[in-house]
Amino acid sequence: MGGQVSRTDFEWVYTEEPHATRRKEIIAKHPEIKELFGHDSNIVYKMAAMFTLQLVACYFVQDASWPKLILLAYCFGGVINASMLTAVHEVTHNLVFGHSRRDQNRLLGIVGNLIIGLPVFIRFKEYHLEHHKYQGHEEMDLDLPSKMETALFQNTFTKFIWLFLQPFFYGLRPLFLRPKPVTGFEIINVAVQLAFDVAIWYFFGGKSLAYLIIGSLLATGIHPMAGHFISDHYMFKKGYETYSYYGPLNALTFNAGYHNEHHDFPNIPGCRLPKVREIAPEFYENLPHHTSWIRVLYDFVTDPDIGPYARVKRRGNPIPINPAGLDGDGDTKAD
């Protein structure tokens, strides 16, 4: 079964998350960083290209054997869908059309969601923005593993299995731990997704629909593109709860690896996050970071000091941290 993890509890802290403090210090020292605030409408064209590629792929895989289909879903379709998920993450923060056009951002997220095969955008938006506002809080931050996960996945073999199951835990955690009322946009998200899935089934067949869904599940589990799910906040060095990744896969993920920079400034689109580090290098160069998401996954599985418990956690009243760029409703001001 492999080595047993050494941690038996989360890393409990009684301090605020680090991003609000660092944000204030950076803006005080480098006020020009505000020039990076805004949105990136070019994301629309990139999302359209990925959408088109997947439709073409659906045509070609409709008669593929199952082994070939799964291989293509992992190596090609999964990469595109993982990239689309990070594009949808940009949409979540209103970084495509700007804060003043919130509904257009939501509709774009619903359309981008289509090639994922499963209706995840609206729910992800709700819980992800809370992750920013309540980072590490034991009740409000559902990016944290549940008690069941920490109890079940405690050695090398089970941590490897946990990586495969990541998409299921991310999807089901909110339903069991803190479900929310269904919203109108969520109904639209589900209805549009079901109609699209039926259309794919009708025009291309069940294998094409399976190709989209399998690719999404694989690419958010044991896949190089899924390394950011672990690298972002799992504690690889004691006392540090957020980590950036500076490596080539940022080119495919809208710079999702610049995670410290993103949490510091959620109203700066991914294309400009490298500029944050360039403008204020003294705030980032000494922070521990990653250079390989594959290495992150390997270390997570094999290192006994890292596992589901390797997260910073906070108790107390869930007082929201209001990052610059988040309004009272939790949406990102990108204008």
Per-residue pLDDT tens for 211-268? 999 999 999 999 999 999 999 999 999 989 999 999 999 999 999 999 999 999 999 9
Q: Which tokens sit at 315? A: 């108790």
- Confidence at 175, pLDDT banded by 50, 70, 90: confident
- Confidence at 278, pLDDT banded by 50, 70, 90: very high
What pLDDT shows up at residue 159?
96
Question: pLDDT tens for residues 6-18?
Answer: 899 999 998 889 9
Question: pLDDT tens for residues 100-126?
Answer: 788 899 999 999 999 999 999 999 999
Q: Has residue 171 got a pLDDT over 60? A: yes
- Confidence at 199, pLDDT banded by 50, 70, 90: very high
Give the mean model confidence (pLDDT) for residues 277-292: 97
Give the mean model confidence (pLDDT) for residues 154-158: 94
Q: Has residue 166 got a pLDDT over 90? A: yes
> Cα 208 from chain centroid?
25
What pLDDT shows up at residue 335?
41
**Which residue has better confidence, 15 or 22?**
22
What pLDDT shows up at residue 315?
86
Give the mean model confidence (pLDDT) for residues 86-94: 96
Give the mean model confidence (pLDDT) for residues 12-38: 95
What pLDDT shows up at residue 102?
85
Give the mean model confidence (pLDDT) for residues 309-315: 94
Mean of the per-residue pLDDT values for the chain? 93
User: HEC states along the chain?
Assistant: CCCECCCCCCEEECCCCHHHHHHHHHHHHCHHHHHHCCCCCCHHHHHHHHHHHHHHHHHHHCCCCHHHHHHHHHHHHHHHHHHHHHHHHHHHCCCCCCHHHHHHHHHHHHHHHHHHCCCCHHHHHHHHHHHHHCCCECCCCCCCCCHHHHHHCCEHHHHHHHHHHHHHHHHHHHHHHCCCCCCHHHHHHHHHHHHHHHHHHHHHCHHHHHHHHHHHHHHCCCCHHHHHHHHCCCCCCCCCCCCEECCHHHHHCCCCCCHHHHHHCCCCCHHHHHHHHHHCHHHCCCCCEECCHHHHHHHHHHCCCCCCCCCEEECCCCCCCCCCCECCCCCECCC
Q: Which tokens sit at 29? A: 């020292």
What pLDDT shows up at residue 327?
42
- Confidence at 3, pLDDT banded by 50, 70, 90: confident
Task: Give the distance between the most distant pair of CA atoms in the chain.
Answer: 59
What pLDDT shows up at residue 329?
42
What pLDDT shows up at residue 318?
66
* Domain residue extents for the chain: 11-314
Q: Has residue 319 got a pLDDT over 70? A: no
Give the mean model confidence (pLDDT) for residues 181-185: 93
- Using N-to-C axis directions, what is the helix angle for 121-133 and 184-204, rounded to 10°? 140
Give the mean model confidence (pLDDT) for residues 38-64: 97
Q: Has residue 305 got a pLDDT over 70? A: yes
What pLDDT shows up at residue 322?
56
Give the mean model confidence (pLDDT) for residues 181-203: 97
- Confidence at 321, pLDDT banded by 50, 70, 90: low
